[in-house]
Structure 1
Amino acid sequence: MKKYRDKENSFLIESRKLVDEAIASSAKIDFIFLRQGVSYETGYKTLVFSETLFNKLSSMTSPDGVGAVIKKKEPREISSSKILLLDGINDPGNLGTMVRSAEAFGFRDVILLPGTVDIYNEKTLRASMGSVFRLNILEKNFEDIKKLKPSYKVLSADMDGLDIRDYKKDSKIIIAIGNEANGLSKEMREITDDFIKIPMEGEIESLNAAIAASIIMNRLM
């Protein structure tokens, strides 16, 4: 639960693959926990739970019996020329996919505005495939974004924006993606320098937010 993640400054991950990613990314691991009968070679402190208890604790339908408790990473100062900003993203799977794409396309800093789902939600962590451990993820407000504007150009995804194929790249950019159902907040619209859109054919009205974010980041990488 988020309130306990915040209280303990820790979060839980599950699956052998995600634990491998955490170790490879030098995440600060409190301990690893296993389901009885499962083997996992590690030098970290390890707890073994009965099958009944492990399955009760797990959020997965078919857990593989490996998990870990990780300390949250302290955010760093923004240092990259390309930033992904997420404005009220509600779906944890979308958030995790966007973070994964951000790493793939060189967006090393990710800003989460108020109303965005918790980055340490278990579904977000699984969808990120380990990118959460490697990127600089910060929680900011609209006043913080205004302070970045002298150095960065703010581009927001919007159906009425400029065709992204016609957009001339800037050296330092913030790409803003709005809420899946309602789009950009009023405050984000007021901060935006330019609105951009992805051209589409057929009868499609819009793309999934994570797909749209991935396409835009790829175009502007």
Structure 2
Amino acid sequence: MTDSGSGSGPGFGPGSGSVPASGPPAAWHRHVGRCVLLDGFHALKHALRFGAEVPVAVTSDRAGALALADELAPDVREALAGLLTEVPHATYASLVARPHPTAVAALAVRPSRAAGLEALARPPRSAPVVVLDQPRNLGNAGAVIRLAAGFGATGVVTTGTLDPWHPTVVRGGAGLHFATVVERLEVAELPPGPVFALDPEGEDIRGLKLPDEALLAFGSERSGLSRELRARADHLVALPMRPQVSSYNLATSVAMTLYHWSAGGGAPQMP
């Protein structure tokens, strides 16, 4: 899973070339062009919690999905009961590239880009923006979005060719794209705010307080920070690391940095 990927629509299994005239598959095909795939129960659960518009949802095991809701997500159980339509497993499998163990799939309308950009730029921000500079790994990008949502970050911005709304990224993010802003921008288009860029030669993060309005920038898994991002950086920041250890995983680096920010008083609000 190292390709950057550029498609944003869901993948389709065998037999997807013919569009049914009616029923859930027909509704699926009507909406697929403007929607993103929610792959699995947990992705659908999170999307509903954070206000996603979900025009169609299918499962080959409705009773099992609602039992999961009773156990893990009673807050969205009623919404799920109203949305989920049971279809034969072969029909469900034809709509997705890889059937999920929970046998649930849905389509959600992608949030407005204009609204996302406005939220990223609106001062004063109460939480940092995570910037992934030319990331390559789709799964890592999804894990970072999940982390950012958990910490209450304002958003995640990617530069470069990776589509942060690629189905594999949405799957890795467990539907939490709808809990934060997720956009792709050029370095010159980044929202205002001081850029704290992670770099082994930077200042030890343990001596710094990261402001809420910061942009926390992380280089690619392979080549680190791009020249453009390094030139835009206001501060270079290093994570503590034992000598002769090459690097941390991207998602681990983001988690450590967001935790350091939250420990300074920026923890997310609890219900």
TM-score scaled by length of structure 2: 0.70
Q: Deviations over 1:176-212 (max 9, x none)?
A: 0111101111111111111111111253110001101
Distance 1:3 1:13 in 2: 12
Q: How does 1:135-154 map to 2 (within 5 A)?
A: 135-145=180-190, 148=192, 152-154=193-195
AA of the residue aligned to 1:109? G
Number of the residue aligned with 2:55: 30
Identity among equivalent pairs (%)? 21
Number of the residue aligned with 2:174: 129
* Contact 1:15–1:64 (CA under 8 A) maintained in structure 2: yes
Range with greater deviation from structure 2 (118-127 or 199-208)? 118-127
Distance 1:107 1:196 in 2: 18
* Contact 2:152–2:180 (CA under 8 A) maintained in structure 1: no
Distance 2:9 2:247 in 1: 36
Aligned length: 213
Instruction: Check if 1:175 corresponds to 2:180.
Output: no
Q: Deviations over 1:45-66 (max 9, x none)?
A: x554432232243333653221
Number of the residue aligned with 1:19: 44
In the TM superposition, residue 97 of structure 1 has moved relative to its aligned partner by: 1.3
Indicate the RMSD between aligned Cα atoms, in angstroms: 2.3
Distance 2:49 2:259 in 1: 26
From the superposition, tell whether residues 62 and 174 of structure 1 become closer, same or farther in structure 2 (CA, over 3 Å).
Answer: closer
Q: Deviations over 1:102-135 (max 9, x none)?
A: 12223122222222x2222333223223321110
Number of the residue aligned with 2:226: 185
Aligned residue among 53, 57, 66 for 2:91: 53
Q: How does 1:56-67 map to 2 (within 5 A)?
A: 56-60=94-98, 62-67=100-105
Number of the residue aligned with 1:43: 82
Instruction: Check if 1:106 corresponds to 2:152.
Output: yes
Query: Equivalent residue of 2:37, what SS?
Result: strand
In the TM superposition, residue 3 of structure 1 has moved relative to its aligned partner by: 5.5
Larger relative helix fraction: 2
Distance 1:200 1:3 in 2: 36
Number of the residue aligned with 2:260: 219
Range with greater deviation from structure 2 (129-138 or 56-65)? 56-65
* Contact 1:14–1:63 (CA under 8 A) maintained in structure 2: no
Number of the residue aligned with 1:2: 7
Query: Equivalent residue of 2:90, what SS?
Result: helix
Aligned residue among 210, 213, 218 for 2:251: 210
* Contact 2:47–2:176 (CA under 8 A) maintained in structure 1: no
AA of the residue aligned to 2:108? I
In the TM superposition, residue 4 of structure 1 has moved relative to its aligned partner by: 4.2
From the superposition, tell whether residues 11 and 171 of structure 1 become closer, same or farther in structure 2 (CA, over 3 Å).
Answer: closer
Structure 2 residue runs of 5 or longer lacking an equivalent are 1-5, 11-31, 67-79, 263-271
AA of the residue aligned to 2:217? A
Query: Equivalent residue of 1:94, what SS?
Result: helix
From the superposition, tell whether residues 140 and 8 of structure 1 become closer, same or farther in structure 2 (CA, over 3 Å).
Answer: same
* Contact 2:131–2:218 (CA under 8 A) maintained in structure 1: yes
Distance 1:3 1:159 in 2: 33
Larger relative strand fraction: 1
Structure 1 residue runs of 5 or longer lacking an equivalent are none
